Structure 1
Amino acid sequence: MARKDRLFSLIQILRDGNLYRACDLAALVGMSLRTIYRDMDTLAASGVPIRGERGVGYQITAAYTLPALNLTKTELEALHLGLAAVGESDDTELANAAKALSRRIDGVLPEDSAAASGWSFATYPFADAARGFQHMPKLRQSIRARQKMQISVGGDISKLRPLALDYWGRLWTLAAWSETGNGFVTMRVDQIDSLDAMPAGFVDEPGKTLVDYLAWNKARGQRVVKP
């Protein structure tokens, strides 16, 4: 059973409020005691209100529960950005709630998911996501319109052909062909100081396309997905 499905099954079992021994939970989901102990620690760390301990049993004390949701990559990105915006709020209660929700989602993401690594706010602060978010509309528009851009990062100005955006669980990166450096680049969107669309557009040229970038990036052992 996949980890996310197993964790969801455990929540469904425990949601009746009754006390369950670890050995009973192990039998119900067909896993080892060691796995159950690890899963219960994960659920508790994710904010699920579980009370109990090894050798005694576990139960959910109180919570609102939602039905299972299947999110697309874009929907998950939107959720990340929404939490980032709330986390920048001056409302301490809401900011703390956003962090707690992040931990819950982190606990049920598939172990092999790219989004699973780096979701936690402790890894990438809210401020990083918020800084990157302000540039997203212009970048998306330029990618769709094939519009060249002038981008400033740390005082260095580059003329780029934006090709794709990728999301790494709290951080966005831009894949582009740099006309200034005459080569492909990958840059963190949150580190961009300013950007402006240039009058000139661009068309695909051999060696400068997204397909070429993906091949170049694969050779570097990284993964970039077209939005």
Structure 2
Amino acid sequence: MRKASRLFEIIQILRLARHAVTAAEIAERLEVTPRSIYRDIVALQAMRVPIEGERGLGYILRPGFDLPPLMLTVEETEAIVLGLALLERTGDTGLKTAARAVNDKIAAAVPEPLRRSLQAPVLRAWGSVAAEPPALDLAEVRGAIRDERSLDIVYRDAEGRLTERRVRPIALVYYSDVVNLVGWCELRAAIRNFRADRVVGCSPAEAFFRGEGDALRRRWSEGWAVAG
């Protein structure tokens, strides 16, 4: 998690907390060390964020501090809630966890009457739930797309043949029953789609394609190439 995102998450955790939260508790939620949280707290306090407390006892956010509101309408809020519910049908565990966190933040930010309406079982996403890919960490793939970092994958095609590929990942396409990884395949020298459930091995490569992602996505959208 980048530091800017982590600072925002710390503010959200403290804003929603009912009692003092220790650095160890925050660190566990954000999957970093308590030492990193101590440094982040000092950085936030230097930015005049009114965080009070000390090591070992926990931290609180002084009442009255808040982030700027998004000013969403009721229908806009409902659209977000339903969209988050649809994520529950994907095989992306990281996005499903993030969706639940966003839902909690929305519920904490809206007025009580709207909160009750959103928490009622009115808007539901129904249908089959995609299985999580057995050998592909979709959170790792999303990170590689953002960082424009190549991936080394072992791929099994429809006939059962295994090939080793170095792929420049540019997109993930979520279908109802499977996720497709789209990327530039160095073996085929072309854009290819890879079914996530056919990837039997994946690791980040020591190679980047920074500055090329947008051009590859334009090429993909213009050609809509398929195959693997």
Q: Same fold (TM over 0.5)?
A: no
Q: TM-score, normalised by structure 2?
A: 0.43
Q: TM-score, normalised by structure 1?
A: 0.43
